[in-house]
Structure formats: C-alpha cells, structure tokens
Amino acid sequence: MAEVRLSPPVELHTVDIPAGTVTVVRDDLLPGGTKQRALIPYLQARRGRGTSTFVYASPAPGFAQVALAHVCALLGTRCVVFAELLDGEPHPHSLLAHEYGAEIIACPSLAEATTAAEAFAAEAAGRWAAPLGFGDAQFGSCLREQIAREWHFIGERANPVPTRVWAPVGSGTLVTALRRALPGEVHLECLDVGVLDPADRRLRALAALPGVSVRRSSQPFLRPCDDPPPIPSNSHYDAKLWPLIREHAAHGDLWWNVAK
C-alpha cells in the first residue's frame, strides 16, 4: 500500500512555449515531490540497520525535508529536521514538514543546521543524519530504479518521446539518477540553483557526466524566482528553469518538475 501511495505513475501535462510545447513531469502533485518515490526502500533499509530516528539538515526552502517527514509519518518513524530560517522565520516547507509530524529545530544557517544535526545524531544510538538531498549511493540506486520505471511510462505516453530533459540541480542527487536511468541519447539541460558552492566536488562530478550540461542560476538560492511558471513549482528551485525553458527549449522537450 505504501508503494502505491508514494510512487504512482507520473502525471504528464504540456505547457506552451514559443517553439511549441514541452511535456512536464508533474511531481509537484506528490506530497513529497520526486524524492518521495525512492524514500520507502531507502528508509526501510536504514531501519533494518537499527535506525529509529531520521535526522536531516535542510536549506530553508528545501523540499527534501517535506518528503522525509511525509514518508516517516507513513512508516511511523521519528523525523527531526534542523531547518535553516529564511529572514528569521521558518520557511513554509519547514512548516509543512512539521504538519507531517517532523520535529523542527530552527537554525540561523544551513551550515549551523548541518553541524547541529550531526551532533544530535551522534548523541544516541538509533539516530542517523541523512546527507543533503539524500546524496548517497543507496538512495541514488533507489531513485534510479524509480526514474527508469517512470521513463518507460513517459515513453509510452509522450509524443514525441523526449530527447532532451530540463532539470534543476541542488545537491546533484536527482540529475545523477536521471543520467544513470535515462538512455544515453537523452541530453540533460540542468540549472544549478546555488545550494552548493560552485567549486563543490558534487557539481564538478555532475558536469563531467556525458550528455549533461550545467549552467548556474544568476539568482541566489534563497531568493525566489522573478518569473514564475504557469504550473506549481518550487520558487527557489524548479521554477528558476522556466525562463530558460521558455527561451531555449524545443518542441517535445521534457521538464522534470520536482516539487511545488
């Protein structure tokens, strides 16, 4: 039952652009966005190794905190989020994570949230601090399997079948999984929204993957997009792709909209 609720087939919509239309993966319709699709097997594996409390340090507008809280609620597992404040206040995504049952501990910055989360996790047995964006090999494998399944669904329904996919980059977890799951002839056009330092090794590794182009947003991550798209999209993250898609996408391209 949990798998059905967490990873239903993708919903595909089309959005008009000057070149025609782009197909949009509407994972903004999932309570936890794309990453919730892989979280059940990921968290269950950690529970099998003794984890009883999942800990996470989140950027203020990050949506992984929502996905984690949502899935932990379904599993009946404790979730503690050390959440960066935005302008001194909890971001609505942190409040949504709290509604799903997460314990929210406010922190002035992401760096302080990360330090506090790691210290909290080390204080007692059974606590585990998940990496930013769930960026480890095990989650990447779970996410790759889910994306490969959804790509088969997309291939049956999209016309034409996309050969170029537009996606955001935060920690790089999603795009890495996309590259490993999608056929080699599919090109990935990616926008680094500025979660990581430009010199971060994760960004360098991503840019070195075949068939991946990465450009960096001119807007700071904590500043919402100036030009919102015509669908619900995370204003600090996915939505910043919209001006690029509108200007540069070709008819039949795919936009992977991760969250709202």
The predicted structure's pLDDT at residue 160: 86
Per-residue confidence (pLDDT) for residue 7, from 0 to 100: 77
What is the CATH T-level fold of the domain 2-34+137-257, as seen in this structure? Rossmann fold (3.40.50)
What's the pLDDT at 9? 86
Fold of 37-132: Rossmann fold (3.40.50)
pLDDT at position 1, please? Answer: 34
Record the pTM.
0.91
The predicted pLDDT at position 159 comes to 83
What are 1's two structure tokens? Answer: 């039952």
Residue 217 CB partners (closer than 8 Å, separation 6+): 191, 192, 193, 194, 240
If you search the block for the tokens 């329904």, which residue do you land on?
A: 157
Give the domain ranges of the chain: 2-34+137-257, 37-132
Find out whether 37 and 30 touch, Cβ atoms under 8 Å. Answer: yes
One fold for both 2-34+137-257 and 37-132?
yes
pLDDT by 10s per residue, the chain, length 260: 334 356 788 999 999 999 999 999 999 999 989 999 999 999 999 999 999 999 999 999 999 999 999 999 999 999 999 999 999 999 999 999 999 999 999 999 999 999 999 999 999 999 999 999 999 999 999 999 999 999 999 999 988 899 999 999 999 999 999 999 999 999 999 999 999 999 999 999 999 999 999 999 999 999 999 999 999 999 999 999 999 999 999 999 999 999 99
Contact 174, 142 (CB under 8 A): no
- By residue count, the chain amounts to 260
Q: What is the widest separation between alpha-carbon atoms in the chain?
A: 56
Q: How far apart are CA 191 and CA 199, in angstroms?
A: 15
Q: What is the pLDDT of residue 5?
A: 54
Q: Is 91 buried (19+), middle (13-18) or exposed (0-12) by CB count in 10 A? A: buried
- Retrieve residue 16's tokens: 């008009």
